[in-house]
Amino acid sequence: MAEKNIENVNRDKGKDSELDDDIDGNPKSTAVTRTCSPEDEPADFDTAITSAGFGRFNLILLIIAIPATCANMFESTTMSYILPIAECHLHLTLTDKGILNACAYAGMIVSAIPWGYLADTKGRRIVLVYGYLLTSVCVFGSALSQNFVMLVTFKFLGGLIVNGPSAVLYSYLSEMHGPKYRSHVLLIVGMIVSAAILLLPMLAWVTFPQPWDFVLFGSLNIHNWQIFLLICGLPSLISGLIMCLMPESPRYLMGQGRNAEALLVLQKIYEINTGQPKDNYPVKALVLEGPNRAAQKGEAIYTVEEKPEAPKTKSPRSLLESLRTGMQQIKPMFHKPLLSLSLRCYTMQFCMFLGMNTIRLWLPQLFSSMADYQEEHAEDNASATMCTILDYSVNRTAETLTNYQSACAETPNISINMYLNNIIVAACGFFGYFFAAAIIRLAGAKRLLTYGLFISGILGIGLYWSVNSVMTIALSSAYVTVGGIAVSSLLGAVVSLFPTQLRSLVVAIAMMCGRLGALSGNLLFPILIQIGCVPPFVMVAFVMLFAGVLSIFIPNPTKAVFA
């Protein structure tokens, strides 16, 4: 459609030049005389964002992505760290621990499609601003929770809200960069995810040993694990406040026919990146991808700019019209080739999150049990095999419930080895992304995704044969690292393979399927370990290998056109 628009514009210009020749009395020429410079021709988005340059604005985006990504990861991961220390305060069973690990994902599943629709119809920025601010409210509420039900409720609400900005963040960042930098930016976000996972055990290491135990307002009992949750709510608050100062995605604005506003944003990006006046921006017009319109009431693009006045004669769309427009927009999702492609991506995301997040979220509990087991059997040098640790964890949790008075008479003393083991696993994931950056240039994104999934499946079943703590740490580190890189690779592929108008919705549904996998895995894991040692590791290995088979049939994202 964009090419047709450009052809029509050039055809009209050619007619005008021929007419001028007739009026002046000159003979007509068979060649069309160009009446405007190439810079005046409408540019597509890739040309426009590339012309804006890469510099300070992009660096600001990556800095903002740090607290935003931390907020996303903290909301789904913090429960796994408080389980060993909050076990006595909240009277947790093994099933309760699985529910606490899974409840945030349940909220994310419920809200996935509404958030995706809002991001594609109302804009990326508004979802990021309100999403992160409301998430911080839920995190602070969980920090004040006094019982299991209250904590589960706030974690569910937090997951319900954070799902919007966490999915939109990927689209927002990719749409602010040209084709040359998109894959690298998403890889950097993956590194930030690993850094956030690394930061969590460090915060736990600093917070949990502190003797913080007091009563607030005469009725709220506050413990050190609640202070830990309070600190983990700061990134979402900071992200929401900073996003108030950021512009709307120019790619989204072009898709909505708001080219005048998109051009303003691109000029501002050019000014920040190059230090030159906005008038020097080489692109003067953008390809019209939708019916041209001005901003309606409540649609802002940049908080420091005057937005265009809303048309006074045009009445706002009714709810029925908005729903009809939304359904028309997602109609291509139910036809070839997007239907089969999206189903494969959703299934892979389900399997990958089930396999990776089940192990990742239960590692703090397993490492805590491993440290306690080694301390109790320091004299007899008992071998801490994975099956031994699982049996020990199940028996200890049961003893805490049946003999609560004696088991919880003293404040739980978490061994330093628990923190160190989690830091090692997280650090391996962080540094693994540096190697992934080199591998993706040599092997390509598709091979990295496929090989990563098969390797993860082998490592998952390999955990069953772990015979000591060192081997457990090594296999866990490799599993989480390779699995995390594979997840980032799939999200990058989704962003590249689907049209702009559907991208946030597809990412949101893919994340919903992933969260459904994480929810299923965390609810099944405590049940399976009570059955035996083999079933949980067979489960995580099978789903990763199955996702690897599906990845073979995914098109190469590097050859996809960013539409």
Q: What is the pLDDT of residue 297?
A: 55
CA pair distance 490, 186, nearest whole angstrom: 11
CATH ID of 54-246+335-402+412-559, from 1.20.1250.20, 1.20.120.330, 3.40.720.10, 1.20.200.10:
1.20.1250.20
DSSP 44-98: -HHHHHHHT-SSHHHHHHHHHHHHHHHHHHHHHHHHHHHHHHHHHHHT--HHHHH
Q: What is the pLDDT of residue 70?
A: 92
Q: What is the pLDDT of residue 412?
A: 61
Q: What is the pLDDT of residue 119?
A: 80
Which sign, positive or negative, has the C-alpha torsion 279, 285, 289, 294? positive
8 A C-beta contact, residue 120 and residue 505? yes
- Residue 14: exposure state from Cβ atoms within 10 A (0-12, 13-18, ≥19): middle
Per-residue pLDDT tens listing for the chain (563 residues):
444 443 443 444 444 444 344 434 444 433 333 344 445 678 888 888 888 888 899 999 999 999 999 998 898 888 888 888 888 788 888 888 888 888 888 888 888 778 777 887 788 889 999 999 999 999 999 999 888 899 999 999 998 898 888 878 888 888 888 888 877 787 788 778 878 888 988 898 888 888 888 888 778 888 888 999 999 999 999 999 999 999 988 888 888 888 888 889 999 999 998 888 888 888 888 887 655 656 555 555 444 344 444 444 444 555 555 555 555 555 556 656 677 888 888 899 899 989 988 888 888 888 888 877 877 776 776 667 788 888 877 777 776 667 666 656 566 666 677 778 888 888 887 787 777 767 776 767 778 888 889 999 999 888 888 888 788 889 988 998 888 888 777 776 776 777 766 766 777 778 778 888 888 988 898 888 888 888 888 999 999 999 999 988 887 766 655 44
Q: What is the pLDDT of residue 307?
A: 45
Q: What is the pLDDT of residue 454?
A: 93
8 A C-beta contact, residue 281 and residue 52? yes
Q: What is the pLDDT of residue 318?
A: 54
Q: What is the pLDDT of residue 108?
A: 81
8 A C-beta contact, residue 363 and residue 393? no
Helix (H), strand (E) at residue 453: helix 445-462
Q: What is the pLDDT of residue 156?
A: 92
Q: What is the pLDDT of residue 351?
A: 92
Largest CA distance in the chain: 108
Q: What is the pLDDT of residue 182?
A: 78
Domain limits, the chain: 54-246+335-402+412-559
- Residue 549: exposure state from Cβ atoms within 10 A (0-12, 13-18, ≥19): middle
CA pair distance 450, 273, nearest whole angstrom: 37
Q: What is the pLDDT of residue 411?
A: 61
